[in-house]
Amino acid sequence: MQQFILTCEKKDQRLNRKIGIFFNAWLMERLPAQLVDMFHQGNENPFSLYVEVGRERVSFVVNVIDDSLASAFRDILFTPTMTSLKFKQLKDIVFKVAERSERHLSQTTLSRIFYQDEANGRFNIQVITPTAFKSQGRYQYLPDLRLFFQSLMRQYNHWFEGQDHIDVELLDEICKRTQIAGYRLHTERYEIHNAFLMGFCGNLVVQCRGTQTLKNYVQMLLIFAEFSGVGAKTSLGMGGIRLRERDEKQSGKKKD
């Protein structure tokens, strides 16, 4: 798995809420047509993205789960001639690229986290962009831990186990032994074309009081989530998260 980060200077203090949608459209216009068609036809998207807006910088982040597709994204984002981002929907705004960085996370690293680490069971999660879940045909925008971990388990099993079903008993055990221990969240509207979804953003503290094996599994899923996104519409900019106060070597090797 690869994560590509373009850190840009922030000139305009008020950015359009659709900036994640604009970034997706910008990418789709530059990727090979056969790849774009594959993304539209698949049930599980092999990439996600989000835009993190800070006080002075804006970070455009692309996550690619399937390593065989990483070069297609790298060729676009890391080409030396691409010194700025400009979206046709934002006519007067240019994002000048100040820094490029890349992180890598392998299945081997995730396996080591599961089998060898000793997670303490308390996880501080930063929800960077609005997050929501689709359940029974409707979108839910409350921080439901069952929907949260179900989303991650489904993605992990699809890409690494070759299965489209999850272990429901394991999910039940996670929900039984895990609870929200603290939060500072707010709801936010995420505009998608001519519609919008509500999602939650902010900080979420999750406490797992299960066995060491269960704590390690939860930690592995949360580190995986940094490279996969969580919930609905992750390829359009929703569901970007970061596991805070973590050891850098556990969550992906950074390359400059």
Statement to judge: residues 93 and 117 lie in one domain? no
Residues of the chain predicted below pLDDT 70: 13, 16, 245-256
Domain count, the chain: 2
Backbone angles phi, psi at 76, to 5 degrees: -85, -50
Looking at residue 249, its pLDDT comes to 43
**Torsion, CA 50, CA 201, CA 126, CA 207, rounded to 10:** -140
Looking at residue 45, its pLDDT comes to 85
In the block, which residue shows the tokens 């996600």?
48
CATH number for the domain harbouring residue 32: 3.30.70.1890
Statement to judge: residues 228 and 114 lie in one domain? yes
Looking at residue 119, its pLDDT comes to 94
Looking at residue 251, its pLDDT comes to 47
Q: Are 214 and 174 in contact (CB under 8 A)?
A: yes
**Which of 104, 130, 154 is the last residue before a domain boundary?**
104
Element (H, E) at 29: helix 19-30
- The answer to the question of residue 256 being in a domain is no
Statement to judge: residues 163 and 67 lie in one domain? no
pTM, two decimals, is 0.90
Q: Report which of 146, 169, 156, 175 is spatially closest to residue 44, judged by C-alpha positions.
A: 156
- The answer to the question of residue 95 being in a domain is yes
Backbone angles phi, psi at 237, to 5 degrees: 110, -5
Looking at residue 248, its pLDDT comes to 44
Statement to judge: residues 59 and 185 lie in one domain? no
Statement to judge: residues 159 and 63 lie in one domain? no
- The Cα-based distances of 116 to 39, 140, 202, 250 in angstroms read 35, 35, 30, 11
- Structural domain boundaries, residue 210: 107-250
Structure tokens at 36: 């774009």
Q: Are 132 and 238 in contact (CB under 8 A)?
A: yes
**Which of 104, 127, 151 is the last residue before a domain boundary?**
104
Looking at residue 92, its pLDDT comes to 79
Statement to judge: residues 21 and 34 lie in one domain? yes
Statement to judge: residues 123 and 173 lie in one domain? yes
Looking at residue 15, its pLDDT comes to 73
